[in-house]
C-alpha cells in the first residue's frame, strides 16, 4: 500500500463529472487499499477518487460510528433522500483547515457495486448518510462549499487562501 497525493481546491479533476468504473479487479483492489490508507493518514472519514486525481466513480468511507464497517463503493448513486434535513459542520480533505455548516437530507438510500462486483443498496442516516452524500458529490464535481451561501463561501475561501499562504 502507498499514500496517494490528495488534490487541493483548484484542481480541475475536482470540478469534473467522474466516469463510471467498469469492473472490479486486482488494480482496483490496490487502488482501494491505497485510498483507505491515504484517508486514514489524513484523518478523514471519506475519500473520492477525484480527490486523488482519478476521474472515476469510486469512494471509500469509514465513519467509525460502530454501526457501519469501512466500505468501498463503485458507481454509487443516491436513489432516494429522506424527508428530514440536518445542519452539520463539514470539512474536506481537498480544502484543509476550513469547515462550514451544510444542510443535507438526514437520510438517503444509495445503490452501488462493491469491490467484489455485488450490487449493494444502503439505507443510511446520520453521519454515514452525510458522508456518502459528500463523497458522491465529489463524483459530480460538487464540493461542500457549493452547498453553502455565497457570503459564507466567500468567507471560507478567504480563510482557506490565508491558511494556504502559510
Q: Which residues are catalytic?
A: 135
Give CA–CA dist 64/68, Å, rounded.
7
Give CA–CA dist 63/46, Å, rounded.
7
Residue 148 in grid coordinates: 453553502
Give the number of other CB atoms < 10 A from CB of residue 147.
18
Burial 13-34 (b: 16+ CB within 10 A, else e): bbeeebeebeebeeebeebbeb
Amino acid at each position: 500500500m502507498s499514500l496517494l497525493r490528495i488534490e487541493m481546491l483548484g484542481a480541475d479533476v475536482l470540478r469534473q463529472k467522474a466516469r463510471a468504473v467498469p469492473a472490479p479487479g486486482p488494480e482496483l483492489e490496490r487502488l482501494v487499499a491505497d485510498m483507505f490508507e491515504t484517508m486514514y493518514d489524513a484523518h478523514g472519514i471519506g475519500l473520492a477518487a477525484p480527490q486523488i486525481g482519478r476521474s472515476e466513480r469510486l469512494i471509500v468511507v469509514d465513519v467509525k460510528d460502530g454501526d457501519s464497517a469501512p466500505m468501498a463503493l463503485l458507481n454509487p448513486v443516491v436513489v432516494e433522500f429522506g424527508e428530514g434535513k440536518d445542519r452539520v459542520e463539514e470539512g474536506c480533505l481537498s480544502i484543509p483547515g476550513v469547515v462550514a455548516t451544510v444542510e443535507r437530507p438526514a437520510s438517503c438510500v444509495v445503490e452501488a457495486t462493491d469491490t467484489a462486483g455485488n450490487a449493494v443498496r444502503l439505507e443510511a442516516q446520520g453521519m454515514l448518510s452525510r458522508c456518502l452524500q459528500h463523497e458522491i458529490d465529489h463524483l459530480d464535481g460538487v464540493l461542500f462549499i457549493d452547498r453553502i451561501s455565497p457570503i459564507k463561501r466567500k468567507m471560507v475561501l478567504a480563510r482557506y487562501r490565508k491558511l494556504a499562504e502559510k
